[in-house]
Amino acid sequence: MSRFLDGRFSHLEAYAPGEQPRDKKYVKLNTNESPYPPSPKVIAAINSAEVADLRLYPDPTAVSLRTAIAGRYGLTPEQVSVGSGSDDLLNFCFMAFCGSGTGAAFPDISYGFYKVYGELYGLDCREIPLREDFTVAPEDCYGLGRTIFIANPNAPTGLALTREQLRGVIEHNRGSVVVVDEAYVDFGAESCAPLVDEYDNLIVTQTFSKSRSLAGARVGFALGSKELIADLELMKFSTNPYSVNRLSLLAGEAAMRDGGYFEKCRAAVIAERERTRSELLARGFEVLPSSANFVFARRDGTPGRELFLALRERGVLVRRWDSPRIADWLRITIGSPEDMDALIAALDDILKGA
């Protein structure tokens, strides 16, 4: 830290992204990426003429991509905002809707970035404790008088609320914005996108990083009333109007328009998740029922840290946190069938010595 850093940030704990190793080849099950490449239509859209056009700025209004997204969800382009990953849109939600004493609320075990944004903007944040079984109880989120962030499915648990449960949260917070972060929704949860026309206090965020295999392109979007979306656009045009580059705009549009490929990939991930879950159960793991592209699992009597390190030694990277309630749990991304075979083989090797 230099002596020039604003004192407000001297204790800021930045978000710690999952490891992106360069030293050796791992089976990488730690950052919830897709094991499948982007749609062939994405690859066709990024041609050399488009690369040559990188001398030009991208369309700051991202109208083609917003139109493609709006078409898919039965909304108008004015109800869609796009950003550099859904992190960008979540950042704008914290920027736009949580200051001046409003504050934020989110589950105590959830996406780590919520806390970071809260600290970055010096917000009053309230954590909603997950219940004993790791679920978010909708009624714990009623009438909080704060901007609420709920990841659905939640991360890292993979557990999802139903659309009707979330409708309850939105109904009981009509005076506040409710942001439903649907980064993983395509792997088995119900989206709140159909509620956007009904509630002027709902924002849904989604990403191209998981179910559309574009984590490296950084594209995400928010859906909401045209007034809420105008607020997010105000944040975007007041920070970086060109936040989504030309190639990513094209990639996102091609991916959104290729529904067939999307269906195929997400079905493959869901099938592999269920197979992985039963293989883990058969080896004495407790595995939460997941609606995401990862599973959250622990094995009684095997400390999470040991398991994490033993897997790493055998070339398999998973994700783990030190916080007390989840210290023994591993979040394991669903990869290809071969990736998951490698995970199971590594576990068998570890457990035979246990």
Contact residues toward ligand PMP (CB under 6 A) are 32, 85-87, 111, 151, 155, 181, 183, 207, 209, 215, 220
Burial 3-27 (b: 16+ CB within 10 A, else e): eeeeeeeeeeeeeeebeeeeeeebb
Nearest-angstrom CA–CA distance, 102 and 293: 33
Q: Residue 16 or residue 49: which is nearer to ligand PMP going by CB? A: 16
Q: Residue 14 or residue 345: which is nearer to ligand PMP going by CB? A: 14
Nearest-angstrom CA–CA distance, 339 and 316: 9
* CB-nearest residue to ligand PMP: 85
Q: Residue 222 or residue 287: which is nearer to ligand PMP going by CB? A: 222
Smallest separation (angstroms) from ligand PMP to the CB of 87 = 4
Contact of 300 with 286, CB cutoff 8 Å? yes
Smallest separation (angstroms) from ligand PMP to the CB of 252 = 11
Smallest separation (angstroms) from ligand PMP to the CB of 297 = 17
Q: Residue 82 or residue 311: which is nearer to ligand PMP going by CB? A: 82
Collapsing DSSP to helix, strand or coil, 146 comes out as: coil
Smallest separation (angstroms) from ligand PMP to the CB of 89 = 8
Nearest-angstrom CA–CA distance, 329 and 6: 37
Contacts of 106 (CB under 8 A, 6+ apart): 114, 115, 125, 127, 128, 148, 149, 150
Q: Crossing angle for the helix pair 337-352 and 259-282, nearest 10 degrees? A: 10
Burial 235-245 (b: 16+ CB within 10 A, else e): bbeeeeeebbb
Collapsing DSSP to helix, strand or coil, 295 comes out as: strand
Instruction: Tell me the C-alpha to C-alpha distance, in Å, between residue 51 and each of 43, 57, 209, 241, 257.
Output: 12, 12, 21, 20, 21
Q: Residue 53 or residue 108: which is nearer to ligand PMP going by CB? A: 108
Q: Residue 150 or residue 347: which is nearer to ligand PMP going by CB? A: 150
Instruction: Tell me the C-alpha to C-alpha distance, in Å, between residue 12 and each of 15, 65, 116, 137.
Output: 9, 34, 8, 30
Smallest separation (angstroms) from ligand PMP to the CB of 220 = 4
Smallest separation (angstroms) from ligand PMP to the CB of 10 = 26
Q: What are phi and psi of 85, to 5 degrees?
A: 80, 160
Q: Residue 30 or residue 302: which is nearer to ligand PMP going by CB? A: 30
Smallest separation (angstroms) from ligand PMP to the CB of 49 = 28
Smallest separation (angstroms) from ligand PMP to the CB of 214 = 9
Cα dihedral sign for 256, 260, 264, 267? positive
With tokens 């493609």, the residue in question is: 68
Q: Residue 47 or residue 240: which is nearer to ligand PMP going by CB? A: 240
Q: Residue 208 or residue 308: which is nearer to ligand PMP going by CB? A: 208
Instruction: Tell me the C-alpha to C-alpha distance, in Å, between residue 349 and each of 281, 306, 331.
Output: 16, 14, 19
Smallest separation (angstroms) from ligand PMP to the CB of 36 = 16
Determine which helix (DSSP H) or strand (DSSP E) holds 204, and give its type and residue range: strand 202-207
